[in-house]
Amino acid sequence: MNRDDLINAIRTRMPEKRVVHTLGVMETAIRLAKVYGVSEQDAELAAILHDVVKFADREWMKQTIVEQQMDPILLNFHHELWHAPVGAYVAQQEFGVSNQDVLNAICYHTTGRANMTKLEKILYCADMIEPNRKFPGVDDLRQQDEQGLNELMKACVQRSIQFLMQKNQPVYPDSIHCYNDLVTRKE
């Protein structure tokens, strides 16, 4: 499928506002891919599909997590986390995506994880700083862009974990592993 076909396909699965977010993520991910020497096509594909099941039926997502033997502890965490791994599954099954890096970028776009590839980091950060995002501190995050991908990623993960802690929300282990990996990395 080309870009327009993919965008039309996701349009049928989400409200217009989420399509606008997705296009913002696409634009930002392509820009970051250019800067950091990652395939722009991969960034585009991962971005267009990253929230493909954001509005899917919750019970169906739960069932898919069980049937596909995804991490069972996902079910103990907020249902907001489910659309990322289930989205990767749908990208593969329904959209025929076979590039494992693209699938992993979708799978880990909400929590992050340790040892992320450049593409995974690009999608995670693009999701957070795309032009339509409005939350306190988002402009500071956008500025981190100039410090390199790892610094940008670190700032985004810190913001995300701080936000969850402020709201007394549990933090999924992969997010902690992601943070630890970024702060202990010597580069």
Separation of alpha carbons 178 and 54, rounded Å? 22
Question: What single-letter DSSP state applies at residue 117?
Answer: -
Determine if 58 is a binding residue for ligand DGI (CB under 6 A). no
| Partner in contact with 58, chosen from ligand DGI, Fe ion, none, beta carbon below 5 to 8 Å by kind | none
Question: 122: closest CA among 20, 30, 23, 24?
Answer: 30
Q: How far is the CB of 162 from ligand DGI (least distance, A)?
A: 12
> Residues 45 to 84: which contact Fe ion by CB under 5 A?
51
What is the residue whose two structure tokens read 């936000």?
163
Report the Cα 186 to chain-centroid distance in Å.
25
Separation of alpha carbons 104 and 102, rounded Å? 5
| Partner in contact with 34, chosen from Fe ion, ligand DGI, none, beta carbon below 5 to 8 Å by kind | none
Rg (CA), the chain: 16
In the list 42, 51, 120, 181, the residue contacting ligand DGI (rule: CB under 6 A) is 51
> Residues 118 to 147: which contact Fe ion by CB under 5 A?
127
Residues within the interface to ligand DGI (CB under 6 A): 21, 51, 54, 77-78, 80-81, 84, 109-111, 127, 160, 164, 169-172, 175
